[in-house]
């Protein structure tokens, strides 16, 4: 399947004193591997509008399925929150989202297609040094 894409709009909240949100469009992953295409970050510095089942987002990251984005938060963050789903721009294909912290599976999403609504996730990550965001193809090939 060619053209299946997925996107996330993500932020993490810093623990301690005053919490502040950090959006992943503001920082590059420490490492990433993507099946094809390029990782897109969009927000105030790179404006765009992406939609998941009609719900529009003005910031976040956009990647193709079969991708691994690795961040090293160094145990400083309390949680990872995101809206996840498949873009409506490419109606074909399915994806599955996973979040790993220090090698442990912290979130396993259901398989989603272009008609699936955007889903908000809230994953606790206190003490996590290695945060890995994974998008799989949902069983119907890379895209």
pLDDT digits (tens, 9 = 90+) for 26-73: 888 999 998 777 888 877 766 666 788 888 888 888 888 889 999 999
The 3-class secondary structure across 74-139, one letter per residue, is CCCEEEEEEEEEEECCCCCCEEEEEEEECCEEEEECCCEECCCCCEEEEEECCCCCCEEEEEECCC
Residue 11: pLDDT over 70:
no
DSSP state of 60: E
The alpha carbon torsion through 91, 115, 88, 24 (nearest 10 deg) reads: -120
Spacing of C-alpha 43 from chain mean position: 14
Place of tokens 């090698």: 103
- Smallest Cα–Cα separation from 32: which of 61, 3, 75, 74? 61
Give pLDDT, residue 55: 84
Give pLDDT, residue 13: 45
Q: What is the pLDDT of residues 93-132, one digit of tens each?
A: 889 999 999 999 999 999 998 888 999 999 999 999 999 9
Give pLDDT, residue 52: 83
């Amino acid at each position: 399947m060619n053209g299946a894409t997925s996107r996330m709009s993500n932020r993490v909240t810093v623990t301690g004193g005053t919490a502040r949100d950090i959006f992943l469009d503001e920082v590059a992953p420490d490492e990433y591997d993507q099946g094809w295409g390029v990782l897109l970050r969009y927000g105030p510095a790179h404006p765009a509008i992406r939609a998941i089942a009609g719900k529009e987002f003005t910031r976040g990251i956009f990647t193709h399925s079969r991708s691994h984005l690795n961040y090293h938060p160094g145990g400083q963050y309390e949680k990872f929150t995101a809206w996840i789903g498949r873009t409506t721009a490419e109606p074909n294909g399915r994806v599955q989202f996973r979040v790993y912290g220090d090698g442990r599976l912290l979130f396993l999403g259901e398989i989603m297609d272009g008609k699936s609504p955007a889903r908000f996730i809230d994953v606790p990550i206190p003490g996590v040094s290695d945060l890995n965001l994974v998008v799989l193809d949902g069983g119907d090939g890379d895209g």
